[in-house]
Amino acid sequence: MAVNRAPAGGLEPAANPYAPGAGIRPPLLAGRDAELNEAARLIGRAGLGYVDQPRLAVGVRGVGKTVLLLAIRDEARRHDAVTVHAQARAGEGFLPALLRELDIELRRRRGPRGRIEQALGLVASLAVTVGGVRVTARPAKGRGDSGDLAVDLVELFAAVCDAAGTPLVVTVDELGELSDAQLSALLVALQRAGSEQVPLVMLAAGLPGVLRRAAEVESFAERLFAVWDLGPLADEAATAAVVDPARDAGGVAWEPAAVAHLVAAAGGYPFYLQHFAATTWDTATSTPITLEDTRLGVERAEARLADSLVRSRLERLSAKEREYVVALADLGPGAHRSGAVAAAMGTDSSAVATTRSRLISAGVVHAPRYGQVAFTVPMFDRYVREQGREGRPRARR
């Protein structure tokens, strides 16, 4: 039994190599070589002046969109590109955040002074249009002050590429969270940047349904992006994500049956892989990590997640919203027709339409396709049902 094994080096909690949590870089970014290689190619091409389609990484929560964007930003820095990362959810608003980052990036750069100044001036004049950013440069007259955000953004992108003499790489996380006005400005700017041959590399990420939302704002958006559909990791990559970091953290091994159990329990989803592996590491006392350690570790992680993921989310909801969540969970994994959820609640879609849209704004569910609804967190349905078994009255009031 696991309890009788002597503690061995390398399995101290402090040495735990895994990285559970939103936006926390994993020790090994597994199974994303295709996307990383493509991004490296785009950055290289932009350096030669070529213009390519923006990329949009689409996937459910926890599939690894944010850390992929971060890895691409690292790659861009290695190429000495000007890199800006902005999260649409940012408290100060997306465009001010983007401009602030650009301002900081430009100030750090060495380059033809006049041009850098000019680009900074454009950032400043746009900041005036957008509001809310403190920048010190004088707004430039005549450029970047058209009052049309999209036009100004294109000029800004062009000026930055020109000034720095290296590609500009922009990553935008949670694209679907942008306000209509800012999303529209960004989309129009991207389209114009393409037709005006601005060597800008643009990579965005969003939940399934983000493309539909973008197309609602600007109909050309559907053709604007090349989409990276991010799904759960294939078995081989998922196995590497678990096994390699342990080996690198001091020669800790996983029994094959143990990893297989973990990967299956996680459904290959990176978020669960990290959580399950981290708890299993803390559960095990010596190498190799066994199937029994893993069963226990996964069980502990699931109990914690049911609590932190589900309870924290459900507690913020109204009774009606919770009822909707429980009905959706009872329908099982994946997407379901809105009508089916309403029917399970003994009513029709129109009667729960506002409940559904409030849950979408709260980020609990999303509409992967028109008329459909699904949880934003994979396997969330299971946790809701488990949580329900322990304390359904909590969830139903």
What residue ranges bind ligand ADP (CB under 6 A)? 19-26, 29-32, 59, 61-67, 241, 270-271, 273-274
- Nearer to ligand ADP by Cβ, of 274 and 280: the residue is 274
Least CB distance to ligand ADP at residue 142 (A)? 40
**Sequence-separated (6 or more) residues with CB below 8 Å from residue 101:** 84, 85, 86
- Nearer to Mg ion by Cβ, of 63 and 185: the residue is 63
- Nearer to ligand ADP by Cβ, of 25 and 392: the residue is 25
Which of 296, 257, 254 shows the shortest CA–CA distance to 276? 296
Chain residues 55-114 in contact with Mg ion, contact rule CB under 5 A: 66
CB 185 within 8 A of CB 172: no
Least CB distance to Mg ion at residue 44 (A)? 26
* b/e per residue 119-131 (b: at least 16 CB within 10 A): bbbbbbbbbebbe
Least CB distance to ligand ADP at residue 67 (A)? 4
Helices (H), the chain: 33-47, 65-78, 94-108, 113-130, 149-164, 180-195, 210-217, 221-224, 235-248, 256-266, 270-283, 291-305, 312-315, 319-330, 338-344, 353-361, 380-396
- Nearer to ligand ADP by Cβ, of 29 and 217: the residue is 29
**Sequence-separated (6 or more) residues with CB below 8 Å from residue 217:** 180, 183, 184, 187
Least CB distance to Mg ion at residue 26 (A)? 13
Least CB distance to Mg ion at residue 225 (A)? 17
Least CB distance to ligand ADP at residue 79 (A)? 21
- Nearer to ligand ADP by Cβ, of 308 and 350: the residue is 308
- Nearer to Mg ion by Cβ, of 23 and 332: the residue is 23
Burial of 40 (0-12, 13-18, 19+ CB in 10 A): middle
Residues interacting with Mg ion, by CB under 5 A?
A: 66
